[in-house]
Amino acid sequence: MKRLLALLSLAIVWCSCTNQNTNENSKMVMGSPNAKVTNVPNTQRTIKGPLAYAPQVPKIQDGDTVEVKFDVTHKIFNITNATPFTAWTFGDSIPGPVLRIRVGQTVKFSMTDRSNEVAGMAMNMEPMKPMQHSIDFHAAMVNPADKYRSIQPGETISFTWTANYPGVFMYHCGTPMVLLHMISGMIGMVIVEPRGGYPDKADQEFAIVQNEYYLKQSGALFVPDTSTARIKHPTYVTFNGKPAQYAIHPIHVKAGEKIRLYLLNAGPNNATSFHVIGTILDKVWFDGNPKNEMEGMQAVYLGPATGAVVEFVLPEKGKYTFVDHSFADAEMGAQGIFQAD
Ligand SMILES: [Cu+2]
């Protein structure tokens, strides 16, 4: 009898779990109307939507639909003051702007390929010539042949997608050679919060995208080097596009407060082992989904195109270095400092 009751209660638990999953799945939105491509550029060059440049984290926008716009540009981007780079960007920056939405929100996205708008000396350099680009949102569930197709210089692509899963996701250009487009800077982060927001509140939050650069010099400029990228020998490994920038200009926080980081390893090739010297990661939501919760971690190991939300406290005033604990990467620039005041 006891065994029967135990089996019965197990069955009830199983049923309720299954029902819950079915309900969640029934809210999912699969696919969306066909993308539109026109030869009319977006009227303004500025980014639009719940976007911010890392380490800043944008605010969620209310509503079922959010309009999001950023364009592709070719420009000289100073990786360091001594490293002017022929970059291909989303929203004029490496990484591209951070987008923040909620599960259930539909993104109405548009993007112009402005690679034909380069002016000045650099326009004659091979990497700066107009070319096709595209965007691939890992947070979306849509037909890639339609939404992630390449557009021509001067064209604008528009499509919608709906966020089904919470997480810290990547977006990138998917135009061949994808490796070249990614090492040229075409990477960025999407934060998708759970429907009701994350389970707890943080006092301060920051976005950190790790990426590798593979460079060779060409005259006064630096250009992407696919030969070292293919054998995974980076020139720099960075947090938010510039080597050791937060070692030079630390991020100021308060001792004792709960800090939340949205982490993304954009790669394109190497893993990262993110660690903060002097504390322990209280909570880790692997890939940014609270259902993937881990606790009390010394580091979080993220392969390329993997994210996490991590929360921790810096126990007392001081300087806390954060690194990719694969120390070759830290030496190549994947290091920074939290200054706890
Ligand atoms: Cu591209």
185 and 63 share one domain: yes
Note the pLDDT of residue 120.
76
Tell me: do 161 and 185 sit in the same domain.
Answer: yes
Name the pTM for this structure.
0.92
pLDDT score at 126:
87
Q: Is residue 16 part of a domain?
A: no
CATH code of the domain covering residue 111: 2.60.40.420
CA of 211 from ligand 1 middle (Å) equals 16
Q: Are residues 62 and 160 in the same domain?
A: yes
Domain that holds residue 263: 204-340
Together in a domain, 122 and 210:
no
**Residue at which a domain ends, from 193, 217, 247:** 193
Residue 318 domain-assigned (yes or no): yes
Instruction: Tell me whether residue 149 is in a domain.
Output: yes
Please identify every residue whose CB atom is under 5 Å from ligand 1, which is an ion: 133, 173, 175, 181, 186
**Residue 232, pLDDT score:** 98
Identify whether residues 152 and 295 lie together within a single domain.
no
Q: Tell me whether residue 26 is in a domain.
A: no
Is the sign of the CA dihedral 143, 146, 150, 151 positive or negative?
negative
User: Is 269 a domain residue?
Assistant: yes
C-alpha of residue 336 to centroid of ligand 1, in Å = 29
Is residue 120 located within the same domain as residue 262?
A: no
Instruction: Quote the pLDDT of residue 24.
Output: 55
Residue 63 sits in the same domain as residue 137: yes
Indicate the residue among 172, 193, 214 that finishes a domain. Answer: 193
Asked if 175 contacts 150 with a C-beta cutoff of 8 angstroms, the reply is yes
Ligand 1 centre to CA of 185 (Å) is: 9
For the chain, how many structural domains are there in total?
Answer: 2
Ligand 1 center–CA 131 separation, angstroms = 8
Task: Decide: 110 and 140 in contact? Cβ < 8 Å.
Answer: no
pLDDT attached to residue 289:
98
Residue ranges of the chain with pLDDT lower than 70?
1-26, 121
Report how far ligand 1's centroid is from the alpha carbon of 153 (Å). 11
Q: Tokens 């010394």 — which residue?
A: 298
Question: Ligand 1 centre from 126 Cα, in Å?
Answer: 14
Find the 203 Cα to ligand 1 centroid distance in Å. Answer: 36
What is the C-alpha separation between 340 and 317, in angstroms, rounded?
5
Q: Cα of 16 to ligand 1 centre, how many Å?
A: 45
Residue 110 inside a domain? The answer is: yes
What integer pLDDT is reported at residue 114 of this predicted model? 97
**How far does residue 284's CA lie from ligand 1's centre (Å)?**
32
Which pLDDT belongs to residue 26?
Answer: 66
The DSSP secondary structure of 96-149, one letter per residue, reads: PPEEEEETTPEEEEEEEB-GGG--SGGGGSGGGS---B--EETT--S-HHHHT-
Q: Is 171 a member of any domain?
A: yes
| Whether 186 and 247 share a structural domain | no
